[in-house]
């Protein structure tokens, strides 16, 4: 599973735990429902501000949503020549 998909699983699980629909989460986060759906399906690379909005709307810390990928650098490899 890719990093974006795993992050989406975390968002969906938290949303469902709170009993929110995609529409309700989108409203609370100030985002469009289709954006939330794309995040949950791992189709969108979430910008920092949107990550903060989503976490706030889900009543959690951004680090909680990122915990699933934090210890998995294999999910987002950095090319060796990146720092050159």
Q: Is 9 exposed, middle or buried (0-12, 13-18, 19+ CB in 10 A)?
A: middle
| Tokens describing residue 46 | 């979430």
The predicted-structure confidence for 20-41, as pLDDT tens digits, reads as follows: 999 999 999 999 999 999 999 9
For position 76, what pLDDT does the model report? 77
Spatial separation of the C-alpha atoms in residues 29 and 58, rounded to whole Å = 8
Phi, psi (deg, nearest 5) at residue 2: -75, 160
SS3 label, residue 18: coil
The predicted-structure confidence for 36-70, as pLDDT tens digits, reads as follows: 999 999 999 999 999 999 999 999 999 999 998 88
Domain boundaries, the chain: 3-83
SS3 label, residue 71: coil
Q: Which residue has the higher pLDDT, 74 or 15?
A: 15
| Tokens describing residue 76 | 């987002």
For the structural domain made of 3-83, what CATH number should be given? 1.10.260.40
């Amino acid at each position: 599973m890719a990093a974006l998909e795993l992050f989406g699983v975390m968002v969906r699980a938290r949303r469902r735990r709170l009993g929110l629909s995609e529409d309700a989460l989108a409203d609370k986060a100030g985002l469009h429902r289709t954006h939330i759906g794309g995040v949950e399906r791992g189709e969108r690379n979430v910008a920092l501000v949107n990550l903060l909005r989503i976490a706030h709307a889900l009543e959690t810390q951004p680090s909680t949503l990122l915990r699933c990928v934090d210890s998995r650098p294999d999910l987002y490899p950095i090319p060796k020549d990146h720092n050159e």
